[in-house]
Structure 1
Amino acid sequence: MAYKRPESVLVVVYSDQHQVLLLQRKDDPEFWQSVTGTLEDGETPAMTAFREVKEELGIDLSDDPMAIIDCHTVNQFAIRPRWRYRYPPNTYSNTEYVFCTQISQSATIILTEHLALEWLSKQQAIERAWSPSNRRAIEAFVPEPKS
């Protein structure tokens, strides 16, 4: 098995209705998250963000280089002990680059790596997202509805 690189992206997906898309992991149904994925050799974080949206949601945004926004936020977090075997020995932390994108709630989403999806209010998504970095990204980068 090839080890995963301890660098990943987090792509917060929200709609024009200010709903946040969360995905339920297959390997841990209690774990709800935004789109995530590991950087592959030769990829920049932005390239990974576009690839992961396409792989996880079946939505190709590559025609518009501005479709996914770099939030200029980089997180460091401890890799969950149950997942450390996927990384090189003695690798305990991951670097995560944060992005966001807006899509229509009516867009056809094809789940390939998750059990389920839900569109939630910003507050519901903050409460449901498993990882602290995902919760902080939703709080910081999903716009509030205009009054």
Structure 2
Amino acid sequence: MVQRVDTPDSTTARPFKIPESVLVVIHTPMLEVLLIQRTDGAAHWQSVTGSRAHAEEPLRDTAVREVWEETGIDALAPACVLTDWQLENVYDIWPEWRHRYAPGVTRNRERVFGLTVPTAHAVQLNPREHVAWQWLPWRAAADLCYSASNAEACLWLPRFLPPR
């Protein structure tokens, strides 16, 4: 049985979000981090995030899909290195977003990945989700992140650099 929810901004029913997601810190070998600004708040700068599309979707596939959807970057391109950092965050879903989940769901489990790209370059944002992007040094990126778990992931970045 597919559960559906009416979104507050439309009458179109959509499936409930799965409370399992990814956080992908996109960075260069020089530790420049890509942050993207959410459409729903000037202070909401973040790395790529997103939920599983279906319960069986491997989290690595979720990471690849979300990076593509949100930035136009192909995480599987030969020059890119996608790494599962083997870190998970469990946090309360913000009250303003709980309507996207099944009734009673209040917590989300987030798997952290890093994506090394060769250089800081322009990205293609999904305008429904994000309005701006910028590359920042890793510490400055951590300072700007709206989410505490995202800021912490940026600070962990030097420990997860792939071998050169």
Mapped to 2, the partners of 1:105 and 1:63 lie a distance apart of 13
Structure 2 residue corresponding to 1:121, chosen from 115, 137, 142? 137
Structure 1 residue corresponding to 2:31, chosen from 14, 18, 26? 18
Any gaps of 5 or more consecutive residues in structure 1? none
Report the number of matched residues: 143
- Larger gyration radius, structure 1 or structure 2: 2
Q: Which residue identity lines up with residue 19 of structure 1 in the other structure?
A: E
Query: Residues 106 and 96 of structure 1: is their aligned pair in 2 closer, same or farther, counting only changes over 3 Å?
Result: closer
Mapped to 2, the partners of 1:106 and 1:24 lie a distance apart of 17
Bigger shift: residues 70-79 or 96-105: 96-105
Matched residue, 1:33: 46
Matched residue, 1:132: 148
Mapped to 2, the partners of 1:63 and 1:52 lie a distance apart of 15
Deviation at 1:143, TM superposition (A): 5.6
Mapped to 1, the partners of 2:131 and 2:29 lie a distance apart of 24
CA RMSD of aligned residues (A): 1.7
Using structure 1 for the length normalisation, give the TM-score. 0.90
Q: Which has the higher contact order (CA 8 A, sep 6+)?
A: 1
Deviation at 1:27, TM superposition (A): 1.6
Any gaps of 5 or more consecutive residues in structure 2? 1-13
Does the CA-based 8 Å contact 1:8-1:36 persist in structure 2?
yes
Query: Residues 24 and 140 of structure 1: is their aligned pair in 2 closer, same or farther, counting only changes over 3 Å?
Result: same
Mapped to 1, the partners of 2:158 and 2:99 lie a distance apart of 33
Query: Residues 56 and 136 of structure 1: is their aligned pair in 2 closer, same or farther, counting only changes over 3 Å?
Result: same
- Spell out, residue by residue over 1:30-56, the C-alpha distance to the aligned partner (whole angstroms, 9 max, x if none): 111000010111311100001111111
Matched residue, 2:4: none
Structure 1 residue corresponding to 2:63, chosen from 19, 27, 49? 49
Using structure 2 for the length normalisation, give the TM-score. 0.81
